[in-house]
């Protein structure tokens, strides 16, 4: 049960965590940023696809070789997470970000450097507002998940399952608080 709980906790964290992006405020620096970002996304994508392949393969083999139901369940989850990681890696590797799309759209235009800088400043202002909205959506989401887990825990008769719900409620409360600052 502890292994499954640990897996559930770590599965949820990557989907909720988000690095704060800060873009350079002039076009020349923004170009360098986009090129570095592309290289990093390629490396990250390749790493996800390789580790995902290993997890999917290991989970599949483990599932076939195991007879215990809990072990088979964990191996099946591992295999599924591996396949998911392959998809995430392919997304990183083969697609760009909003910043890349914005950069290439403007770079290939006939705008002067001064005009590109002006458009970049407007884009950065929009991005800042968008990130603020996303942050508050994360606060609300984790708060709702926390409330649901606390409620489920309060209704559960089994002490181990009740503890799991309370743990998940507390973890989501901490995540909600971390996004609110």
> CB-based contacts of 76: which residues, under 8 Å, 6+ apart?
59, 63
Higher pLDDT, 50 or 9: 50
Average pLDDT, the chain: 86
Residue 122 lies in a domain: no
Range of the domain at 167: 129-181
Which residue in this structure is represented by tokens 């002490």? 159
| 111 pLDDT tier (thresholds 50, 70, 90) | very high
pLDDT tens, 134-169?
Answer: 999 999 999 999 999 999 999 999 998 899 899 999
Q: Cα 171 to the chain's mean position, in Å?
A: 17
> Does 91 share its domain with 136?
no
CA 51 from chain center: how many Å?
16
What is the separation of C-alpha 16 from the centre of its chain, rounded to a whole number of angstroms?
A: 6
Number of domains forming the structure of the chain: 2
Same domain, 169 and 100: no
pLDDT for 163-181, tens place per residue? Answer: 989 999 999 999 999 988 8
98 and 156 both lie in a single domain: no
In a domain, residue 71? The reply is yes
């Amino acid at each position: 049960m502890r292994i499954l709980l640990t897996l559930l906790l770590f599965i949820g964290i990557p989907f909720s965590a988000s690095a704060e992006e800060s873009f350079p405020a002039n076009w020349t620096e923004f170009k360098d940023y986009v090129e570095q970002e592309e290289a990093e996304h390629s490396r990250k994508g390749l790493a996800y696809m390789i580790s995902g392949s290993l997890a999917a393969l290991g989970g599949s083999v483990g599932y076939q070789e195991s007879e215990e139901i809990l072990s088979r369940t964990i191996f099946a989850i591992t295999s599924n997470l591996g396949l998911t990681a392959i998809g995430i890696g392919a997304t990183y590797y083969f697609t760009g970000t909003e910043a890349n799309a914005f950069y290439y759209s403007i770079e290939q235009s006939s705008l002067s450097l001064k005009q590109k800088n002006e458009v970049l400043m407007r884009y950065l202002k929009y991005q800042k507002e968008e990130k603020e909205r996303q942050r508050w959506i994360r606060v609300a989401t984790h708060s709702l998940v926390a409330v649901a887990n606390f409620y489920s825990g309060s209704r559960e008769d089994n002490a181990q399952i009740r503890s799991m719900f309370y743990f998940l409620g507390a973890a989501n409360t901490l995540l909600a608080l971390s996004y609110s600052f």
